[in-house]
Amino acid sequence: MAVKIILADDHRLMREGLRSLLESQPGIEVVAVAENGRETLRLVRKYKPDVVVMDISMPDLNGIDATRQIISEFPKVKIIALSMHTNKKFVSEMLTAGASGYLVKDSALEELSNAINIVMSNKVYLSPAIARVVVEDYRGSKSPGDIISPVSLSPREREVLQLIAEGKSTKEIADCLHLSVKTIETHRMQIMDKLNIHSIAELTKYAIREGLTTL
């Protein structure tokens, strides 16, 4: 039986390149492609794939939060992160969200088929550059008492913050998330209070710095 794949990337050329590569491989079927995290979640619910190849920096809902939601609903789905980022923060957040693999975009075409085979055997695949980041982070990790806990936003607050940073109005966010305008306003106030940030410009800078969205 063929391994069912969904490709999620907001760059059309990358999606087409990956699709062309995978469709040339025996035993692999690309059942759908998506250009943002929210569309990916909808397609996962529809097609029940074996593997999702997930870009991290996508509009509307980023790959980290999309991964967290997919794994929560479909724990057997394997997620392979696809990113230009080798920063340990992105790697850590993606693996914590439930990803089974992490590929760097500039080597994705050569590595992807192998990565799919590895995660389908219930192992973790990391690009060499990512494995090095993980090892260096482990070697340099501090004792628990030295670690300062970051501000923790809820999954819904992260969604709202990303959409605010991407310039959506309160009504647009409410429509997108199927919530009331008043609920979105409450989330925005809670986000600002938690982060001690009181302007949209500073919220946008924070969202970009934390990898929730890109410029």
> What pLDDT, in 10s, does the model give residues 168-195?
899 999 999 999 999 999 999 999 999 9
Q: Within the chain, what is the greatest distance between any pair of CA atoms?
A: 53
Instruction: Kindly list the strands in the beta sheet with 78-83, ordered across the sheet, starting from the edge strand earlier in the chain.
Output: 28-34, 3-8, 51-55, 78-83, 101-104, 125-126
CATH architecture of 3-136: 3-Layer(aba) Sandwich (3.40)
Cα separation, 51 vs 2, in Å, equals: 11
Is the domain covering 155-209 a CATH 1.10.10.10 domain? yes
> What pLDDT, in 10s, does the model give residues 81-135?
988 877 788 888 898 999 999 998 887 777 898 999 999 999 999 988 788 777 7
| Domain residue limits, the chain | 3-136, 155-209
Overall pTM surpassing 0.85 (yes/no): no
